[in-house]
Structure 1
Amino acid sequence: MKFFTTAELNYQVNGPGTLILNVHALRTSQQAVSSETLIIEPYHKLEEICAVNGENRLIRLKLTENGPLRISYQAIVDHTYTAKNPAELFETPVDQLPPEILPMLYPSRYCQSDKLGRLAGHLFGHLGSAYEKVVAIVDWIHTNVEYRSGFSNVETSAYDTVTQQAGVCRDFAHLGIALCRALSIPARYFTAYAYLLVPQDFHACFEAYLGGEWILFDATKLVPINGLIKIASGRDAADASIANIFGDIQFSSMAVRCDLDDSNFVPLYQ
């Protein structure tokens, strides 16, 4: 399936600073970037860097001139989604996990799995397989947490979401990650361009490490699971934010789109 993604970010630069962007579609075994363009107006020299602890494609801009800044990214991505056989999605014992997976077991800034252990055990500990537990986590969040646009902020954590029982996609993802980790299932944050998301925006969900690979889950159930174009992953939103600002730079506006040219597309919802 061929997806067309666009993102336009606008800022006001009031003084010297640095902007680190994370808007490029990833090149993975499931998605190939056939073409892409990045336009910066006015022109600034950029540096392409890769995240030390992951596959994320970052852009670093050193800004010295005051005034408006417009960043426009466009890409054509060939994406393939393959549904997995649940019987193959086994749990890997902690003593057999690859070293690079271990950080996705630990509590993090927004995913305090150490505070949710009793809740996770009470709700899901009796279930048989790790896959069944993750599916139950997704369904429980979807049923018990209300999706409310603009409800939370950058300080909201998984623990907050449990108590407030409301949030946005970022909060749904953080809670899913924290509950998985509390059950010794590695989980990580996932940002994406999302086909059929209304209104169009960047979207957040999570991946759980099952059967020796990362399996995608979305507790919001707002978009088809086969319509997500991956941008980044990390321990939580702090590792996979779209933009990090250093200096006197103010965000102004944003526009995001994800379109598909395929009349045979069949949306798959979890």
Structure 2
Amino acid sequence: MHTTVIDLLLEYQVSAPAHFLFHIEAAFDDGHCVVQERLTITPSMKVRSFSDERNGNRFFRLDAPPGVLSVNYHATVELHQPAIPLHLDEAPVTTVPDDVLRYLMPSRYCESDVMSRAAQQLFGHLPPGIGRVRAIESWIHDSIAYLPGFSNSTTTAQEVFVHRAGVCRDFAHLGITLCRALNIPARLVVGYVHFADPPEDFHAVFEAWLEGRWVLFDATRMAPIDRLVRVGTGRDAKDVAFATIFGGVQMLRKDMRVVEGDAQALAVMPRSVSAAPARLLTAG
């Protein structure tokens, strides 16, 4: 079991009244337990929370007045990811559950329909199963350069495949796309994980449906996959943005610390913000 402490600070300059949808809280997930968490909003204001029962995603919304908005999320999470079997089969399409079928379809950033020929040429000859998904993961790692700033928020998997460069979400989108093109349901997972080389940021990986279970894969290999604290799960990045903003807003600051270690020592880690009354959250 691993213990992780998360401390995230977001600051925005709001030029006119704006509406925010945030997606930064640890998800309701069987792979981890939220020991404690705290959300601090400055200035203090009404916050409306809701969750996505299908994936355990948690959201909160607020209306911000002009001025500086500060959002601080602090959490201690215990991870207990189950071991992954060495051999898992792919599920025939006819046996894919109704609620999983949507992850076989093309989506905004994952054009699996137009990538089908490439997927078959690269991986169609391999035996179906977890080994084929591992091969996709390895091919992306070996073939795509990790280049921050090369891609942007509209870059699709097909573009990553052509240009051979991107960041973690691009690696994950390409993995999802190649899996779906081979009739393997796949989806995006975003969360917190400790990186050996800062700066910390949200990390994106992909998840494939194999033999009745979801299995995580990370083609960047930047951090141990079993240390990821899940925040968002969706078809692609459109479903898991950490902030969606309606109005005139400029981001001033995004500071994140993700620390692993002894639970007692981590409990005294300094926090970023203590200026406003905190909203205590219920552990999921």
Letter in 1 for 2:55: G
Asked if the contact 1:190/1:234 (under 8 Å) is kept, the reply is yes
Q: How many Å separate the matches in 1 of 2:173 and 2:10?
A: 25
Q: How many Å separate the matches in 2 of 1:214 and 1:39?
A: 33
Aligned counterpart, 2:271: none
Asked if the contact 2:91/2:210 (under 8 Å) is kept, the reply is yes
Alignment size in residue pairs: 261
**Is 1:71 the counterpart of 2:71 in the alignment?**
yes
Report the TM-score when normalising by structure 2.
0.89
| Percent identity for Structure 1 against Structure 2 | 42
Q: Give per-residue Cα distances to partners, 1:44-66, cap 9 Å, x unaligned.
A: 11011113653210011112x20
1:43-122 → structure 2 map (5 Å cutoff): 43-51=44-52, 54-63=55-64, 65-87=65-87, 89-122=88-121
Q: Give per-residue Cα distances to partners, 1:105-144, cap 9 Å, x unaligned.
A: 0000000001110010010011112211110100000000
Q: What displacement does 1:253 show?
A: 1.7
**Relative contact order (alpha carbons < 8 A, sep ≥ 6): 1 or 2 greater?**
2
Segments of structure 2 that go 5 or more residues without pairing to the other structure are 264-284
Aligned counterpart, 1:218: 218
Aligned counterpart, 1:188: 187
Q: What displacement does 1:197 show?
A: 4.7
Asked if the contact 1:4/1:260 (under 8 Å) is kept, the reply is yes
**Is 1:163 the counterpart of 2:162 in the alignment?**
yes
Q: Give per-residue Cα distances to partners, 1:148-190, cap 9 Å, x unaligned.
A: 1111100100001001100000100000000000000000000
Aligned counterpart, 1:266: none
Aligned counterpart, 2:128: 129
Segments of structure 1 that go 5 or more residues without pairing to the other structure are 264-270
Q: Give per-residue Cα distances to partners, 1:241-261, cap 9 Å, x unaligned.
A: 111011112222201111112
Aligned counterpart, 1:150: 149
Asked if the contact 2:28/2:58 (under 8 Å) is kept, the reply is no
Aligned counterpart, 1:178: 177
Q: How many Å separate the matches in 2 of 1:246 and 1:116?
A: 34
Q: How many Å separate the matches in 2 of 1:151 and 1:253?
A: 21
Aligned counterpart, 1:138: 137
Aligned counterpart, 1:206: 206
Q: How many Å separate the matches in 1 of 2:40 and 2:262?
A: 27
Asked if the contact 1:130/1:185 (under 8 Å) is kept, the reply is no
Q: How many Å separate the matches in 2 of 1:246 and 1:51?
A: 21
Q: Secondary structure at the match of 2:9?
A: strand
Q: Give per-residue Cα distances to partners, 1:187-214, cap 9 Å, x unaligned.
A: 0000010122522111001100112111
Letter in 1 for 2:27: L
Report the TM-score when normalising by structure 1.
0.94
Q: Give per-residue Cα distances to partners, 1:69-107, cap 9 Å, x unaligned.
A: 1100000101012221122x2211111111110110000
